[in-house]
Amino acid sequence: MKTTISKVGNFVGQEVTMGAWIANKRSSGKIAFLQLRDGTGFIQGVVIKAEVAEEIFLKAKNITQESSLYVTGTVREDDRAPSGYELTVTDVDIIHEATDYPITPKEHGTEFLMDHRHLWLRSKRQHATMKIRNEIIRATYEFFNQEGFVKIDPPILTGSAPEGTTELFHTKYFDEDAYLSQSGQLYMEAAAMAFGKVFSFGPTFRAEKSKTRRHLIEFWMIEPEMAFYQFNDNLQVQEQYVSHIVQAVLNNCSLELKTLERDLSKLTQIKAPFPRITYKDAIAFLHEQGFTDIKWGDDFGSPHETAIANSYEKPVFITHWPTSLKPFYMQPDENNPDVVLCADLIAPEGYGEIIGGSERIHDASLLEQRMKEHGLQQEAYEWYLHLRQYGSVPHSGFGLGLERTVAWLSGSEHVRETIPFPRLLNRLYP
């Protein structure tokens, strides 16, 4: 019977064959332990000299790391095995012998591993991290479909800059200037006026010269946008969505979380509602914590975010930021126009901002005024202003950074390990 590692549980006591690679190997004169992987998981194959033909034992004993093979064996339940099963090998058919695989079981430096990212992806921790990423994506589609959102795909090549012009990747678009999208938001606003509740999921680009453990040049963002939703409605969607993906990862990635030695007690309590603190109160809190330099109007750095996050067990919304710190499209607070109706969601345990969102300005003249203040050329935004000229309604939305969310849930120190092929300040290879 041909099967995969993920399905061996259906064949206990039976003989199965699977295509696999050798992740690692140990052997003595009498027994060889093959750490097998096939993409769906990892399992140990045990080859006992006394029980197989001489030639099979020799093949198993001498097989090299990352060689590919068809392996046949009997599935046994084994409580000590992480997957719960082991394979008693009866036959080994080598497909391709790998020599001198660069990533050995010894320690390697990060730069070396990043240079070999195309191979590093095969290793256990990287595999677990990507499976968690995949589960977050799956649960994202599940949540927004359940809630009646329509998936809409905004363009990647654009002529406008939602988040400010300093971080844009410029390119030529025949005779015109174009930019790689830094956010699909403005297009999602148009989509919300056509479909009510929409979400997007796609790559975004920031030409930011930041070299922190939270910044990628190319990252993936989930951007929901909802017509007739105001500030508080928006926060409710966010806390429900984040709770949904955390619970999905807990339910469906227990093996991966175990491989990564993630502290589950920190994740099980992540359930809506999430705490809220205004920017103003956050400043006062930071002063109490000894960050005496920070003053009203300053942006928060990661030490500030971490100090705030550490006083909560759940993600925390920092709301009502100074207008001067935020993009042109955010709706001012009617009680205090110096602040906007926005929130950043800060993950626990120092993983930083995972969501930025706000209510959008829906008054045409205020929006025009803001665009002028921000030095934006009106021609490029003519279509965006139409949304306020033809049936304008209050609406809100947000963007969740996928990689920072993966980093948080998988317990990854750095976002570079949360995307298959990271684009970093000094890395475009492989």
Q: How far apart are the first and last CA of the chain?
A: 37
By C-beta, is 39 or 301 nearer to ligand 4AD?
301
Burial class (CB in 10 A: 0-12, 13-18, 19+), 428: exposed
Applying CB under 6 A, does 394 fall inside the site for ligand 4AD?
no
Applying CB under 6 A, does 333 fall inside the site for ligand 4AD?
no
Please report how close the Cβ of residue 199 comes to ligand 4AD at its closest, in angstroms: 10
Applying CB under 5 A, does 357 fall inside the site for Mg ion?
no
From 333, 339, 342, select the one nearest 399 (Cα to Cα).
Answer: 342
Q: How many CB atoms lie within 10 A of CB 148?
A: 9
The answer to whether the beta carbons of residues 317 and 345 sit under 8 Å apart is: yes
Residue 163 binding result from ligand 4AD, Mg ion, none, given CB thresholds of 5 to 8 Å by partner type: ligand 4AD
Applying CB under 6 A, does 162 fall inside the site for ligand 4AD?
yes
Applying CB under 6 A, does 235 fall inside the site for ligand 4AD?
no
Among 403, 407, 412, 418, binds ligand 4AD (CB under 6 A): 403
Among 41, 357, 394, 422, binds ligand 4AD (CB under 6 A): 357
Please report how close the Cβ of residue 153 comes to ligand 4AD at its closest, in angstroms: 14
Residue 355 binding result from ligand 4AD, Mg ion, none, given CB thresholds of 5 to 8 Å by partner type: ligand 4AD
Q: Taking the CA atoms of 412, 418, 420 and 422 in sequence, report the sign of the dihedral they define.
A: negative
Q: Taking the CA atoms of 170, 118, 111 and 306 in sequence, report the sign of the dihedral they define.
A: positive
- How many residues sit close enough to Mg ion to count as binding (CB under 5 A)? 1
- How many residues sit close enough to ligand 4AD to count as binding (CB under 6 A)? 23
By C-beta, is 7 or 427 nearer to ligand 4AD?
427
CA distances to 49, 50, 257, 347 from 405, rounded to whole Å, are 47, 50, 14, 8
Mode of pairing for the β-strands spanning 352-359 and 395-401: antiparallel
By C-beta, is 73 or 224 nearer to ligand 4AD?
224
Applying CB under 6 A, does 355 fall inside the site for ligand 4AD?
yes
The answer to whether the beta carbons of residues 411 and 261 sit under 8 Å apart is: yes
Applying CB under 6 A, does 348 fall inside the site for ligand 4AD?
no
Q: How many CB atoms lie within 10 A of CB 292?
A: 9
Among 184, 356, 357, 394, binds Mg ion (CB under 5 A): 356
Q: Taking the CA atoms of 409, 412, 414 and 418 in sequence, report the sign of the dihedral they define.
A: negative
Among 41, 45, 394, 397, binds ligand 4AD (CB under 6 A): 397
Q: How many CB atoms lie within 10 A of CB 3?
A: 17
Region 199-228 residues binding ligand 4AD, contact defined as CB under 6 A: 206, 208, 215-216, 219, 221, 223
The answer to whether the beta carbons of residues 44 and 36 sit under 8 Å apart is: yes
Please report how close the Cβ of residue 184 comes to ligand 4AD at its closest, in angstroms: 7
From the list 96-104, 261-269, 354-362, 405-413, the region that binds Mg ion by CB under 5 A is 354-362
Applying CB under 5 A, does 352 fall inside the site for Mg ion?
no
Applying CB under 6 A, does 300 fall inside the site for ligand 4AD?
no
Please report how close the Cβ of residue 426 comes to ligand 4AD at its closest, in angstroms: 15
Q: Which residue is nearest to Mg ion (CB)?
A: 356
Please report how close the Cβ of residue 422 comes to ligand 4AD at its closest, in angstroms: 10
From the list 49-57, 245-253, 350-358, 365-373, the region that binds ligand 4AD by CB under 6 A is 350-358
Q: What is the DSSP letter of 9?
A: G
From 34, 380, 413, select the one nearest 179 (Cα to Cα).
Answer: 380
The answer to whether the beta carbons of residues 19 and 38 sit under 8 Å apart is: yes
By C-beta, is 86 or 403 nearer to ligand 4AD?
403
φ, ψ (nearest 5 deg) of residue 291 = -85, 75
Applying CB under 5 A, does 327 fall inside the site for Mg ion?
no
Region 163-182 residues binding ligand 4AD, contact defined as CB under 6 A: 163
Q: Give one word for 261, left, alpha or beta, with left for phi > 0 and alpha for psi -120 to 50.
A: left
Show the CA angle centred on residue 375, arms to residues 372 and 379, nearest 5°. 75
Applying CB under 6 A, does 241 fall inside the site for ligand 4AD?
no
Sequence-distant contacts of 163-169: CB under 8 A, at least 24 apart:
163/206, 163/327, 164/327, 164/374, 165/375, 167/206, 167/207, 167/208, 168/207, 169/205, 169/207
What residue ranges bind Mg ion (CB under 5 A)? 356
What residue ranges bind ligand 4AD (CB under 6 A)? 162-163, 183, 185, 206, 208, 215-216, 219, 221, 223, 353-357, 397-399, 401, 403-404, 415
